[in-house]
Amino acid sequence: MKIAMMCLWNAANGPSIHAELLGRAWVKLGHQLKIFSAQKHPDARPTFQEDEDFVIRHFRVDEVIPFTRATSFDPSPLLNEEYEIFVAQNVERLPAEKLLEVFPQIKKKAVTVQVVHEGKAPEDPLYYQFDWDAIVCFDQRYKDYIIKSFPAERIHMISYPYHPLKLGNKKEARRKLRLPQNEKIVFSFGFRSKDVISALPYLNELTQEYSLRYVVIANPESELDELYQAKKKYNFIDLKVKALPLDELYDYLYASDVLLIHRESSQKYPAVVSSSVCQLLGSGCPILFHQSNYVELHGNEIIKYRDFEDMKTKLIELFQGKLFNLTRIKDFLKDYEAERIAERFIKLFEELRETRNRNQKRRVR
């Protein structure tokens, strides 16, 4: 099957992670893929991941507020490349005005599918002018608002894909990253520095019981001032500022005793998913995540904590070899790893293509 997907790609961003997990799984399953992506976009924080040959970068976006509009946009790849399925990820953050102009030509040659990432109903009126053949939501929270604006029969629910199981060796990873073998390593990464700062006093209390190192990899586009100040105050912080390609990110997970993600519930968006969990669960590193709407649908494949005291308790239990069970992750991934989810999309594409072909034959008659 020849699939085109318009999305962010190789970026430290949730929709990009979804697109990459799905797109690479399609390629692995033998399908042909074209990616239409941005040369520049405010949401496209760097990963230094190298683009594959199938990636075409043909538009630029400088502003997404109040609405996403293109600074430059070359429509020729969308019009000239060969594909039978067209997937658009996170349409609210794509250049809707320019995409709408060429959408009739896209629909002439391809089945069109939108993947919903927006955490609430978008305010951009152009969002509602697209006539998608199908709209895919991750769960009921997304469907609850989408169904108010689009026909129910076009809305489908397909879970967010997960990186497949890819285990590593702790000793080798620590040697490779030049991290000590005899310390407990807590790891955090990303661009939300405030999430890291708030946990520090409680981690500091653990340094009285454990030889603890808190490895923090901050994206270069993060707000760094508070982190630099915190590093001066707490000597257990091992702070690095750099973009992380996926292979290196997995090395840090292999080297760590736990991945700590402290994120409060989103007040702005009722429907949210932690793309980090989806991308990193397959490493086999225990994930300790603050109880919030980012993980409200997760079960015991991750470990949740209520507050910072509970975080401390659960870190101690993890250091003692308790709480974590790799079998739970393996069982979970059997149903949700990327290839399984990619196959569900392919089944949907085939059904949509059959419907399209039947309708075309009727029109010919």
* Radius of gyration, CA atoms only, the chain: 22
Place of tokens 């840090």: 252
Q: Is 292 in the same domain as 210?
A: yes
* CATH number, domain containing residue 215: 3.40.50.2000
Q: Is 63 in the same domain as 192?
A: no
Q: Helices 14-28 and 338-364: crossing angle, nearest 10°?
A: 80
Which amino acid does the sequence have at 362?
R
**Alpha carbon distance 171, 296 (integer Å):** 33
Q: 353: part of which helix (H) or strand (E)?
A: helix 338-364
Q: Average the pLDDT over each of 7-11, 109-113, 164-168, 195-199 and give the range with the smallest value.
A: 195-199
pTM here is 0.93
- 10 Å CB burial of residue 125 (0-12, 13-18, 19+) is exposed
**Alpha carbon distance 248, 245 (integer Å):** 6
Q: What distances in angstroms separate CA 180 from CA 3, 31, 174, one per listed residue?
A: 45, 43, 7
Average pLDDT over the chain, rounded to whole? Answer: 95
Number of residues that this document lists for the chain:
365
Question: Token digits for 108?
Answer: 């002439």
Mind listing the pLDDT tens digit for each residue in 32-47?
999 999 999 999 888 8
Q: Is 146 in the same domain as 250?
A: no
pLDDT of residue 307: 96
**Bridge-based pairing state of the strands 237-241 and 258-261:** unpaired
SS (H, E, C) 219-278: CCCCCCHHHHHHHHHCCCEEEEECCCCHHHHHHHHHHCCEEEECCCCCCCCCCCCCHHHH
Q: Is 294 in the same domain as 359?
A: no
pLDDT of residue 365: 61
**What value, to the nearest 5°, has the Cα angle with vertex 14 and ends 307 and 242?**
85
Q: Is 18 in the same domain as 125?
A: yes
pLDDT of residue 12: 87
Q: Average the pLDDT over each of 50-64, 175-189, 219-233, 319-333 and give the range with the smallest value.
A: 219-233
pLDDT of residue 196: 87
Place of tokens 């973009």: 243
* HSE-up (13 A, CA, CB side) for residue 303: 23
Can you tell me the mean pLDDT for 213-221?
Answer: 91
Q: Which residues contact 112 (CB under 8 A, 6 or more apart)?
A: 86, 88, 103, 106, 130, 131, 132, 133, 134
Task: Give the SS3 label for residue 192.
Answer: coil
Write out the DSSP string of 309-325: HHHHHHHHHHHTT-S--
Q: Is 307 in the same domain as 359?
A: no
pLDDT of residue 71: 95
Q: Is 354 in the same domain as 271?
A: no
**CB-CB neighbours of 115 under 10 Å:** 24
DSSP 186: E
pLDDT of residue 144: 96
Which amino acid does the sequence have at 234?
Y
Q: Average the pLDDT over each of 188-197, 241-250, 259-268, 287-296 and give the range with the smallest value.
A: 188-197
* HSE-up (13 A, CA, CB side) for residue 298: 28
Whether the per-residue pLDDT at 298 is higher than 70: the answer is yes
Domain span holding position 7: 2-161+338-364
Whether the per-residue pLDDT at 222 is higher than 90: the answer is no
State CA 142 to chain mean position distance. 16
Q: Is 185 in the same domain as 295?
A: yes
- pLDDT tier for residue 364 given thresholds of 50, 70 and 90: low
- How many domains in the chain? 2
Q: Is 229 in the same domain as 301?
A: yes
- 10 Å CB burial of residue 160 (0-12, 13-18, 19+) is buried
Place of tokens 């630099």: 228
* Ordered alpha helix ranges (H), 32-85: 76-80
Can you tell me the mean pLDDT for 287-309?
Answer: 96
Whether the per-residue pLDDT at 362 is higher than 80: the answer is no
- On whether the CB atoms of residues 349 and 3 are closer than 8 A, the answer is yes
Q: Is 175 in the same domain as 323?
A: yes
Q: Is 146 in the same domain as 176?
A: no
Q: Is 138 in the same domain as 92?
A: yes
- pLDDT tier for residue 220 given thresholds of 50, 70 and 90: confident
**Alpha carbon distance 90, 252 (integer Å):** 29
Whether the per-residue pLDDT at 138 is higher than 70: the answer is yes
Strand order in the sheet with 69-73: 69-73, 55-63, 32-40, 2-6, 85-89, 111-115, 134-137, 155-157
**Alpha carbon distance 6, 36 (integer Å):** 5
